[in-house]
């Protein structure tokens, strides 16, 4: 277990749900090389859409540049977990 502030994590790059957070649905302790960053992502109460739907494609197009930044961006994790 890794503890960061009040949060406990199973490990680096392992997202978990945050049902008690007022706005964000997930959190992950992202690690890329020596850099470690706490990232909150996803809107509480919103679900993604199946691959190939117009809503899914619109999300991926709108956030493509940020998804490409990799593990240290919220868009990457949102794309991986929710969309």
pLDDT tens for the 83 residues of the chain, in order: 899 888 899 999 999 999 999 999 999 999 999 999 999 999 999 998 999 999 999 999 999 999 999 999 999 999 999 99
Q: Is the dihedral of CA 57, 61, 66, 69 positive or negative?
A: positive
pLDDT for the residue numbered 6: 84
pLDDT for the residue numbered 7: 87
- CA distance linking residue 36 with residue 4, whole number of Å: 11
pTM: 0.92
Question: How many CB atoms lie under 10 A from the CB of residue 55?
Answer: 11
pLDDT for the residue numbered 1: 87
């Amino acid at each position: 277990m890794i503890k960061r502030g009040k949060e406990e994590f199973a490990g680096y790059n392992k997202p978990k749900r945050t049902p008690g957070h007022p706005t964000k649905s997930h959190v992950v302790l992202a690690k890329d090389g020596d850099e470690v960053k706490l990232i909150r992502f996803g809107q509480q109460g919103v679900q993604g859409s199946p691959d190939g739907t117009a809503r899914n494609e619109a999300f991926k197009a709108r956030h493509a540049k940020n998804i490409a930044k990799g593990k240290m961006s919220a868009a990457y994790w949102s794309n991986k977990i929710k969309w």
